[in-house]
Amino acid sequence: MKGRQVTMGLVDQFFCKAQNFLPLFHRPRFYERYVSKAQNDADYDAMALDAALILNGVLALAARYSTSPYFSGAEPACRGDPFGRKAKEIYDASVSRLETPSLPFLQGCVLLGFYLLSSGSGIQGWLVCGTCSRIAYEMGLDTLDQQPASSSGGQTATDRAWTIKEELRRAWWCVWELEVVASTIYRRPHTVPKVRAQVMLPVSDEAWWADEEVPSAIIPASPLRAWQALRDCANQSERAWFLVGNYLIYCAHDMLQQSQYTPQDIQEIETAITGFTQLLPVQFRASSGIVFDTKCFGKANWIVSTLLMLQGSRIYVKLLKQCEASDPCADHHNGFLASLPTPVPYEPALLDFSCCAQGIMDIVHEWPPEFIGMNTPFIATLLLGPAKINLRVLQHRESIDFRKGVASSVASSQKAILKLAVEKVARYWKFGSILLDEFRLSDP
């Protein structure tokens, strides 16, 4: 473990930056457990393996945002690698003799899985994600809220039980998100069975850290019910809304992977997406202006991510309709970076997606560049779109303008803006460099 001053600085960076998109920890309790008791390097070296796994995972994600002279000369996206390698060593040494899974070990695995997937290590990341899923099920996290707890007033033992249970919910939802990333972007088999989880959506960090119980809701399995999960619910956290949107795009993606689906199936997911759009709180309206600043950028990034999810969901619906109207072609679409299906005529298919590409540009217009790299890097896939639709639309319009002899093409400028946004991701995350390669491949 590095010097205590560097370590404490990175822990602070984690809670200022990474906790916003990977909200695993109760900040006051984290400092009490892992920071306050370690007064020197010897204390860090003597940590239990699960604590060391957590701390190295935290440092691996936080180092990219550090301004410490300790990292001078190192590219931001590479600064966390020594900590990531150490976390992987601890994981390898621990998992083979694991007998009784614990929440700290699961949290450390989540951090490591996120680090590996964001570093472009799809296979290793998927394997760690599989461990996360199995531990989560072994701990019964998928049925945490099968019996809703009764509420009581005042600061009581029940309140303490709620805040501890909320930490378990956070672990479940982070595991679930990693599963979505691994299966939709990296096209790996599911590690979380497709069954309904009885887990309440997480509340805001502010409420949780203050140990203030907020009634929440479970996402129903049916998309026609899922979109209404937060209607009239006390929990209105931006992340909760994002998770519902994430669930809907997950449903649309899985439907496209199926060999058989009916027009009614398509109508149901399209209706759910439309209903969810109408139900979103006013702060999710891009037209009203999304508020970004150094204090609330985490919430604003959840809003942007939710809007990007909605655009991705609409693309999936259009792909479903095109496949339903032609020969089966789901295999061409089952990854975010897959190619367009050959059975669909090239130009008409792209023209049908022009509104989706413009919708992405409208969202990017509201996204300040200094905050793009402070979001989960995986959301950047939606800038390109499922099957790279948005990028292909802009490339197609660019080629049309070129044939017409247009000197200054709007499409060329929009493509350049989209690339600039991805470059902001690539500055901090190696995963962003993978997406930049798609732009290079698309250049004439």
The residue ranking higher by pLDDT, 269 or 324, is 269
**Banded model confidence at residue 154, pLDDT cuts 50, 70, 90:** very low
- pLDDT tens track for 15-69: 999 999 999 999 999 999 888 766 666 666 668 899 999 999 999 999 999 999 9
pLDDT of residue 287: 65
Q: Does 356 or 421 have the greater pLDDT score? A: 421
Size of the chain in residues: 444
Q: Among 30-34, 78-82, 103-107, 159-163, whose mean pLDDT is lowest?
A: 159-163
339 — pLDDT class (breaks 50, 70, 90)? very low
Q: How far apart are CA 164 and CA 6, in angstroms?
A: 29
Phi and psi dihedrals of 26, rounded to 5? -85, 105
Per residue in 159-181, pLDDT (tens digit) is 678 999 999 999 999 999 998 88
Confidence (pLDDT) at 195: 56
Mean pLDDT, range 334-353, rounded to an integer: 54
The pLDDT mean for the chain works out to 87
Query: What is the pLDDT at residue 408?
Result: 72
Using the predicted structure, report yes or no on whether residue 89 has a pLDDT greater than 90: yes
Question: pLDDT by residue (tens digit) across 379-395?
Answer: 999 999 988 899 999 98
